[in-house]
Amino acid sequence: MSTHRYIDRVCCVILVLTLMLTVVFVSASGAGSESAPRAMGYEDRLFDTSTVHTLDLVMDDWDSFISTCKNEEYSPCSVVIDGESFGNVGLRAKGNTSLTQVESYGNNRYSFKLEFDHYESGQTYHGLDKLSLNNIIQDNTYMKDYITYRMMGEFGAVSPLCSYVYIRVNGEDWGLYLAVEGVEEAFMQRNYGGDYGELYKPDSQSSGGAGDMEDGKGFMEKPGMDGPELPEGDRMLDMPEGGMEAGGAPGMGNFGGGEPRGDFGGFNGFGSSDVSLIYTDDEYSSYENIFNNAKTDITDEDRDRLVAALKRLNSFEDIDSTVDVESVIRYFVVHNFVCNFDSYTGSMIHNYYLYEDAGQLSMIPWDYNLACGGFMGQEDATALINYPIDTPVSGGTVDSRPMLAWIFSSEEYTQLYHQYFAEFISGYFDSGAFSAELERVQALISPYVEKDPTSFCSYEEFLEGVSVLKDFCLLRAESVSGQLDGSIPAASAGQAENADALIDGSDVDISAMGSMNNGGFGGMGRDRQQNQQDPMDKAETGDNANSSQQPPSEGGAAPAGGPLETVRTRESNSTNTQNEEGLITVLVCAAVLATAIAGMLLYKKKA
């Protein structure tokens, strides 16, 4: 009798305990999935790099839109990507300096930004909210952005995805562009999961104008300058107070003093201390060029956390917690290899994203069309090929860039930097992966470059540019190997004293790859500067009538076992692991619940 009296209570207790245990399992699984990178549907669609994708823009009043591109205002359009249609998508031109430059070329080949959810809340392209369409300006190779982003991603640095797209407007050929994943919501979820941190795009507005702004947040690009100051200073081990002594890179000319100048180029200073990530004090106003360009909604707590992180960074304090050491070193390995002076390590000190999560900082790359010496039209190939990997700052000293300086603050981090550089050279160049990928991409995009009606260079200039890009990178890899083994000095002062040790690049024509100075201020290719027509005014020819047909990709992916395959395997394993963990959690919860129910039934039966 007494047993029957308590049977319902016992069953209730067992059921409650079972539910509590299930909640614990589900919560633990959910917390893990929120912080883990997410596989996004657009990764294997638009960003499949084995093909040139088609992207059709449909807009009723295209001429009116083009005539007002400088306003950088969104207009509605329909977009068809590889045959899949999306309506009411926001489209605008992007850029700042590039908008003016395009006009000076006499054509309308602007870079664009697509915002899928601008008019339709929640609309995405398989999870992608924003897409940049880069016009490949000042890059005769069509590849510098593509190759750099791919190397970043393959080497383990967080980087936007990219692929080639052939654009048609209202049925007419427009040109070959590079599609780049917007560093926004979808990017954050793909790389950091749903519980991501804060994102900034530091950029100084003191160089003229508010730049490329979006929703009050900066996507800013600066006007050109008279010329960059070149790498100065030596390694930071036992660095004296006040920074290091200046020492220009060999053959790059004398550009003046050892510290960045506030009046350089006549723009009242570009690159204030906050965009350099230099800690000044605890006042928010000292970091306006960071906080005003936040890409996520930030609070005072977020501001305090970032300022505290910058303070630790500048004092080289608790680096392992302050910096994502592996990610940042891998970023700088690739970044310093490609010699991009239009960047954090250049005079402009921009074109990078800063990511902060729980007080830990990391870098995200952006905008490499002026890599390989294209910024300000550098022509000394020998100096660029041998650019010192231990003093890679243009327009300042290494200690004026704290996010780089910590690497040289101790032997441990410097050795790790050199170790990763050696792995990069071995895995991407010595293995033949770079040459194979470059040749594959050239074969893939050549038919589209040849018929591109708005290209900034001729097809012949494209072929020459690709050839020079290959030579430059292979010689650069040879020089870096020498800098790592000590046969070539890895710092500017040593190179100045031992110029005979440098790799000879006198036969490499840097300008053939395209630069800011080709044909004037970033001019168009020699064969395309005269009498270029708007492609929308041309009658459709047999070529562009078939432009939607994609030639078969040649060469496939990089060689088996190379960086591409390694990264794809790692991503696949990560996704499989997440799926397996989720399945295990469900099975465990089901087993616990089934056991509890069986126990209750058995107990009740006995009672």
Cα 602 to Cα 414, 595, 606, distances in angstroms: 66, 10, 6
Structure tokens at 463: 């072929």
Structure tokens at 580: 């397996």
pTM of the model: 0.78
* 551-583: pLDDT as tens digits: 433 333 333 334 444 433 444 444 444 445 555
Q: What local confidence, expressed as pLDDT, does residue 241 receive?
A: 37
CB 218 within 8 A of CB 201: yes
Q: What local confidence, expressed as pLDDT, does residue 5 receive?
A: 61
CB 186 within 8 A of CB 125: no
The whole-angstrom separation of Cα 371 and Cα 140 is 12
Contacts of 61 (CB under 8 A, 6+ apart): none
Closest CA to 229 of 401, 479, 365, 472: 401
Nearest-5° Cα angle at 429, 388 to 324: 65
* 108-130: pLDDT as tens digits: 999 999 999 999 999 999 999 99
CB 10 within 8 A of CB 606: no
The whole-angstrom separation of Cα 156 and Cα 333 is 11
Closest CA to 175 of 98, 102, 101, 108: 108
- DSSP state letter for 258: S
Q: What local confidence, expressed as pLDDT, does residue 101 receive?
A: 83
CB 235 within 8 A of CB 393: no
Instruction: Average pLDDT across each block of 10 residues of the chain; the chain has 607 residues. List them in order.
Output: 60 66 54 72 98 98 93 96 98 83 86 98 97 96 98 98 99 98 97 97 61 38 35 37 36 36 34 91 97 97 99 98 98 98 92 98 97 84 97 93 98 99 98 98 99 97 98 99 99 97 97 74 44 50 40 37 41 46 58 66 62
The whole-angstrom separation of Cα 189 and Cα 185 is 6
Rg (CA), the chain: 27
First to last CA, the chain: 9
Q: What local confidence, expressed as pLDDT, does residue 395 receive?
A: 82
Nearest-5° Cα angle at 336, 311 to 512: 140
| φ/ψ (deg, to 5) at 579 | -65, -40
Closest CA to 219 of 163, 154, 162, 292: 292
CB 116 within 8 A of CB 89: yes
Using CB atoms within 10 A of its CB, is residue 301 exposed (0-12), middle (13-18) or buried (19+)? exposed
Q: What local confidence, expressed as pLDDT, does residue 448 receive?
A: 99
Point out which residues pair with 133 in neighbouring strands.
112, 179
Q: What is the pairing mode between strands 53-58 and 162-169?
A: parallel
C-alpha torsion 538→544→548→549, nearest 10: 180
For the chain, domain boundaries: 2-35+582-606
Element (H, E) at 37: none
Length of the chain measured in residues: 607
Closest CA to 352 of 454, 262, 221, 449: 221
